[in-house]
Amino acid sequence: MIGVILLTVPSIQYGGYFLLTILSGKAKLSLTDFQKSMFRAGHAHAGVLVILAIIAQLLADQCSFGPMTEWIVRIGFPLAAILVSGGFFASAAGKNRTTPNSMVTVLYSGVFVLAACLVILGIGLLTSE
């Protein structure tokens, strides 16, 4: 699972490069300040949550989860990274947008998945033998 997660990092790197070209004015893409802020947040959350997803894989090894719970945790952390960062990007999509669109629900679903996985993993670590 860690190998799969690591393979997502080049896409985050490319996203950072693309964001830099937009923010530096090299890309001719007209964005509102709201959109720029949301894109920055999406990129930052992707990087941080991918690191957390890798750490969570190692911590899950220390738990005595059943197979179903283990896979919920192992898949949930990288899924949360996708949903949270994707939610920032998707909710800012559209011409001249200054407020989130209905796709902000993707962001909230990612927050829910992340919170659930954090609680499950935390309990698993506290109760493991």
Higher pLDDT, 129 or 82: 82
pLDDT greater than 90 at residue 58: yes
Mean pLDDT of 94-112: 97
Separation of alpha carbons 77 and 62, rounded Å: 16
Mean pLDDT of 24-33: 88
Mean pLDDT of 58-86: 97
pLDDT greater than 90 at residue 22: no
**Quick one: 53 exposed, middle or buried, by C-beta within 10 A (0-12, 13-18, 19+)?**
buried
Which tokens go with 50?
A: 């991918």
pLDDT greater than 90 at residue 29: no
